[in-house]
Amino acid sequence: MESEESVYSHCQNCGRWFRVGIRFATAEEFIDAKIRKRTVDCPFCGKNTLVEKQYLRFDEQRIDGHITHVEGRYFV
C-alpha cells in the first residue's frame, strides 16, 4: 500500500509542529522506537528546541485515504 508518512516535532518555544528527518515505515515502528534526545532549531521561530519522543507525532496517510495519527507522549 502506498503511503505518505511523516514525523513531526512540537516546538517547545512557539508551539508549532515541524517535520523532522526521522522516518518510520509504520506506526508500530514508531511506537516501539527508542528515540535519542537531541536539539534542533525550529524552522518557525528559529530557537533551539528539544526533540524527544514525548514531543513527536507520527502521521501516515495511505493512498486509500486512511489516516494513522500517533502521539509519542503515550508511548514514552
Which residues of the shown chain bind Zn ion in the complex (CB under 5 A)? 11, 13-14, 42, 44-45
**Cα atoms in the Cβ-side hemisphere of radius 13 Å centred on 35:** 28
Judged by beta carbon, residue 35 or residue 42, the one nearer Zn ion is 42
Tell the smallest beta-carbon distance from residue 24 to Zn ion (Å): 23
Tell the smallest beta-carbon distance from residue 28 to Zn ion (Å): 29
Tell the smallest beta-carbon distance from residue 66 to Zn ion (Å): 30
Output the CA–CA distances (angstroms, integers) from residue 11 to 8, 46, 51, 67, 70, in the order listed: 9, 10, 8, 23, 17
The span from the CA of 23 to the CA of 21, in Å, is 7
Judged by beta carbon, residue 11 or residue 60, the one nearer Zn ion is 11
Judged by beta carbon, residue 7 or residue 42, the one nearer Zn ion is 42
* Phi, then psi, of 67 in degrees rounded to 5: -115, 130
